[in-house]
Amino acid sequence: MGRPAAYLKDGGSELRNAVERIAERGLGSATIDDISHVVANILKRRYQQHPQFATFLSACGRVSGKLKQTILACLVPPRLPGKARFMNVHRLVSWADRVLKLSPSGGAARGSMLAKLRACLDQLPACRTLLKQFQADAAALLACQQLVKTRGLSHQTLSACDDLIAQIPSPAVRREFDAYLRYQLKTATALGLDDVGMPISSDAIESLFGVAKRHGTGESHDVGRMALRLPALCGTLTRHEAEAVETISVAQQHECSAGLPSLTKQRREVLSHPELLEQLGLDHRHPIEFIAGSNNRSKVDNIIDLSTGYEDFSGPHPEGEEEPRRLARASP
């Protein structure tokens, strides 16, 4: 398609090597480093060797194991990917800070939700110093990241970031991020984009190619919410049913699921309003049921035995159907 004006890439070595190979042939172009990866690497260099960081990650893992399959499951920490871990560490730190705020100083009544929560926190309270330092550095970095992602890198956005950068307490983090932005502004000037704003995030490109990233934790597998989706997999779908789905509004969907318990809803309510923690143990009218993990399934008392021959007895079973099912009256 021709020689690109610039390469907008993440911090991977594969793309860096490819750009260097092309430059060796005299066909090099400017490179723009994705700001999300740069911020993650800056935080990684600053905190990976922090004396409390390994303790913090281990504590989060143990807390997760203690909270899962319990009435406090809505407070389970987000899981971090094995690669590019520091792209999401700030979410784990934010979670830990909010959970610790649910446990203020003072005694807790025996059997209360607060007492149960404290029993699950492991070494998390001992990592408060790390959490405070990390949040102080990450807050300004993430604010600049959001600003530049939305408006692009220009003289105006760099000027707006200067006030935020000045608030970063760690000198090394402050200097490295400031140097990165000013170096990339030179690239924007060479491309003629220093006034309108140069794209500096690869998110839009990744979304365009259908590989949009999922940050933070995956959805919790609570049975109540999954059951809403199961009917869509049963029977033969007709065109009339497919067209009926298009007429359903978001408000109607919310109305249908409003009365169902949800870990996501509980998490949002409890972390935003710590005074609601004790209410988790009060409402048993609509208990949330959890899917037992494979490692713990033998310890679960109530296990439903699903027969492998269910298709012979349940649901519609059209006779003589040998071809794969297709949408009724669908065009080729």
In 3D space, the residue among 119, 26, 45, 141 whose CA is nearest the CA of residue 86 turns out to be: 45
Q: Where are the alpha helices (DSSP H) in the chain?
A: 13-24, 35-47, 53-67, 89-101, 113-118, 128-151, 155-165, 171-190, 203-208, 223-227, 239-246, 250-257, 263-272
Q: Dihedrals φ, ψ of 118, to 5°?
A: -60, -35
pTM: 0.66
Residues 44, 86 contacting (CB under 8 angstroms): yes
CA gap 310, 230 in Å, rounded: 15
Residues 35, 145 contacting (CB under 8 angstroms): yes
Tens of pLDDT along the chain (332 residues)? 578 888 888 877 778 888 889 889 888 888 899 999 999 999 999 999 999 999 999 999 999 999 888 888 888 888 877 666 788 888 899 999 999 998 887 888 888 888 888 899 899 999 999 999 999 999 999 999 999 998 999 999 999 999 999 999 999 999 999 999 999 999 999 999 999 999 998 877 776 655 434 433 344 555 666 666 667 667 777 888 888 888 888 888 878 777 777 777 788 888 888 888 888 766 555 555 555 555 554 554 554 454 444 444 444 444 544 454 444 444 54
Identity at 148, one-letter amino acid code: V
Sign of the CA dihedral with 55 first, then 127, 51, and 166 last: positive
Name the token pair of 248: 């359903």
Name the token pair of 40: 């993650």
Name the token pair of 113: 């939700």
